C-alpha cells in the first residue's frame, strides 16, 4: 500500500531506474543533475573559446573608437551601389535589334538621380566606311572627355580594326547592318544608333551625323547650346508638291492623314525623352515600313511626321545641320578643298536667322555637310583658330 502511494508521483522514473528504495532514487537524481551541470559548463566554456577563435574581430566589430574611420573609408571605396547596374554593355555587344530596343526603352519612374550624373552628348555617326574627316573631329573632342560619347554605325563589310587605337573612334562601332540610300533600313540604322546610345544613362542629347559632317563651333559652345535647349531639333515641314505631300500614301489612313504628313532632313538632334519615344514606337514604324517605299523615302518622312503628330510641343521643327540645297536636284551641294575658306565658314556660323528657346538668334547651325575628304587639310588649317578649339 505504502509503496504504491510513494511510487505514484513518479511512476516512469521508477520504471527507468528500476530501484526499490526512495533514498537511492534521490541520490541518483542529484548525481544525474550534477553530471549534467558539469557537462553543460564544460561544453559552453569550450564553445565560447572556439567561437572567439573563429570570429576574429574585424575593424567593424571592435569597440575601440580608433579603427572606425578606416572601416568607413574602405567601405566607401569598395561600395558597389548602382555601379554594376549603370555600367553600359560593351559597344560591340551581341544583342539582337529586338533585344536592344527592349532594353533601351526602359525608363526610371523616379525623377532625378541618386548619384552624380554629368550629362553627355552622344554623337551618332551613320557612315558607309571610314571617317575621312576624323582628324578634325579628334581636335574638336580633345580635352572634353567625360562629356561626350561616340557611336559609329558603318557597313558590315567595313573593317573597323583599321581605326587606330589612339583615335576617339576606336572601338566605338555598334553592331551594324547594311544601309542603302533611300531604303527603310536607313531608319532602322538610326534607331539602332539611338538605342545603343540610350544604354548609357549619362547620354542626354543625341545628334546624328555622317562622315561628311563637320562641327561649326568648339565643343563647349555646342555642348552648352544642346544642353541648354528646351527643344529638340527634328526638321519638320509641310511641303505641297510631288516631293512633299506627293509621297504620301493614302493607305496610311486612318493612322496618318494627308494634313499630318511632314518632310524634313534626317540629320536630327534630340533629347533623351524624345529618343526613348522614337525607339519605342511600334505604331507608326510598321506603317512607314510597309507603305513608305520609293519614291517615298522614309528617312525624310518618318521622324518629321511622327514628331509633328505626337511630340510637336518639344520640337523646334528645324535642323542644326547646315546643308546647301540651292542648286536643286536630289542631292545637296558638296564642298571640296577650295570651297573651304574662313569667310565661307563664318557665313555658315552666323548667316541665318532662327529662334532659340523662344528668342531670335543668328546662331542656328551647330554642324554642316557635305564636306569631301579633300577638304580636310583646309579645315585643319582654318577651323581650330576660327572656332576657338582649345
What is the binding site for ligand NAG (CB under 6 A)? 69, 72-73, 159, 161-162, 218, 220-221, 236, 308, 312, 315-317, 350, 362, 388, 390
Q: Which is nearer to ligand NAG, 220 or 289 (CB)?
A: 220
Q: Which is nearer to ligand NAG, 127 or 317 (CB)?
A: 317
Give the end-to-end CA distance of the chain in Å, rounded to a whole number. 115
- Distance, in Å, from the CA atom of 55 to the CA atom of 254, rounded to the nearest integer, reads 73
- For residue 132, the minimal CB distance to ligand NAG (Å) is 18
Q: Which is nearer to ligand NAG, 167 or 221 (CB)?
A: 221
- For residue 109, the minimal CB distance to ligand NAG (Å) is 27
Q: Is 297 left (phi over 0), alpha (psi -120 to 50) or beta?
A: beta
**Distance (Å) of CA 1 to CA 4, 5, 17, 326:** 5, 6, 21, 130
Q: Which is nearer to ligand NAG, 109 or 353 (CB)?
A: 353
HSE-up of residue 172 (Cα within 13 Å, Cβ side): 23
- For residue 291, the minimal CB distance to ligand NAG (Å) is 20
- For residue 64, the minimal CB distance to ligand NAG (Å) is 16
- For residue 314, the minimal CB distance to ligand NAG (Å) is 9
Cα 87 from chain centroid (whole Å):
9
- DSSP element (H, E) containing 204: strand 203-209
Q: Which is nearer to ligand NAG, 50 or 61 (CB)?
A: 61
The angle at the Cα of 206, spanning 172 to 224, to the nearest 5 degrees, equals 110
Please compute Rg for the chain using Cα positions: 36
Q: Which is nearer to ligand NAG, 105 or 260 (CB)?
A: 260
Q: Which is nearer to ligand NAG, 28 or 74 (CB)?
A: 74
Backbone angles phi, psi at 28, to 5 degrees: -65, -30
SS3 readout for 154-199: CCCCCCHHHCCCCCCCCCCECCCCCCCCCCCHHHHHHHHHHHHHHC
HSE-up of residue 340 (Cα within 13 Å, Cβ side): 23
Assign 30 to helix, strand or coil.
helix
Q: How would you class 110 by CB atoms within 10 Å of its CB: exposed for 0-12, middle for 13-18, buried for 19 or more?
A: exposed
Q: Which is nearer to ligand NAG, 46 or 390 (CB)?
A: 390
- For residue 224, the minimal CB distance to ligand NAG (Å) is 9
- For residue 123, the minimal CB distance to ligand NAG (Å) is 17
- For residue 346, the minimal CB distance to ligand NAG (Å) is 7
Amino acid at each position: 500500500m505504502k509503496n504504491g502511494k510513494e511510487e505514484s508521483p513518479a511512476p516512469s522514473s521508477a520504471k527507468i531506474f528500476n530501484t526499490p528504495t526512495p533514498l537511492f532514487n534521490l541520490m541518483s537524481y542529484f548525481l544525474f543533475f550534477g553530471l549534467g551541470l558539469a557537462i553543460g559548463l564544460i561544453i559552453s566554456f569550450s564553445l565560447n573559446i572556439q567561437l572567439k577563435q573563429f570570429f576574429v574581430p574585424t575593424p567593424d566589430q571592435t569597440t575601440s573608437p580608433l579603427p572606425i574611420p578606416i572601416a568607413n573609408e574602405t567601405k566607401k571605396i569598395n561600395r558597389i551601389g548602382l555601379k554594376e547596374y549603370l555600367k553600359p554593355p560593351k559597344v560591340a555587344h551581341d544583342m539582337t535589334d529586338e533585344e536592344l530596343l527592349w532594353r533601351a526603352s526602359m525608363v526610371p519612374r523616379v525623377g532625378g538621380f541618386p548619384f552624380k550624373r554629368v550629362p553627355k552628348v552622344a554623337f551618332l555617326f551613320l557612315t558607309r566606311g571610314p571617317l575621312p574627316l576624323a582628324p578634325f573631329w579628334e581636335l574638336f573632342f580633345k580635352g572634353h572627355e567625360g562629356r561626350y560619347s561616340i557611336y559609329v554605325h558603318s557597313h558590315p563589310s567595313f573593317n573597323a580594326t583599321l581605326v587606330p587605337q589612339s583615335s576617339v573612334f576606336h572601338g566605338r562601332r555598334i553592331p551594324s547592318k547594311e544601309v542603302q540610300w533611300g531604303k527603310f533600313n536607313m531608319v532602322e540604322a538610326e534607331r539602332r544608333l539611338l538605342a545603343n546610345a540610350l544604354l548609357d544613362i549619362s547620354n542626354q542629347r543625341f545628334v546624328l551625323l555622317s562622315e561628311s559632317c563637320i562641327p561649326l563651333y568648339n565643343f563647349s559652345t555646342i555642348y552648352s547650346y544642346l544642353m541648354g535647349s528646351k527643344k529638340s531639333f527634328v526638321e519638320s515641314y509641310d511641303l505641297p508638291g510631288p516631293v512633299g505631300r506627293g509621297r504620301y500614301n493614302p493607305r496610311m489612313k486612318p493612322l496618318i492623314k494627308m494634313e499630318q504628313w511632314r518632310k524634313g532632313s534626317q540629320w536630327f538632334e534630340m533629347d533623351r525623352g524624345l529618343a526613348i519615344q522614337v525607339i519605342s514606337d511600334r505604331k507608326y514604324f510598321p506603317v512607314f515600313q510597309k507603305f513608305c517605299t520609293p519614291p517615298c523615302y522614309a528617312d525624310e518622312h518618318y521622324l518629321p511626321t511622327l514628331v509633328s503628330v505626337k511630340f510637336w510641343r518639344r520640337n523646334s521643327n528645324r535642323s542644326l545641320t547646315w546643308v546647301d540645297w540651292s542648286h536643286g536636284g536630289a542631292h545637296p551641294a558638296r564642298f571640296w578643298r577650295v570651297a573651304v575658306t574662313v569667310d565661307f565658314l563664318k557665313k555658315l556660323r552666323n548667316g541665318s536667322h532662327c529662334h532659340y528657346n523662344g528668342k531670335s538668334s543668328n546662331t542656328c547651325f551647330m554642324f554642316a555637310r557635305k564636306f569631301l575628304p579633300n577638304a580636310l587639310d583646309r579645315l585643319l588649317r582654318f577651323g581650330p583658330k576660327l572656332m576657338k578649339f582649345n
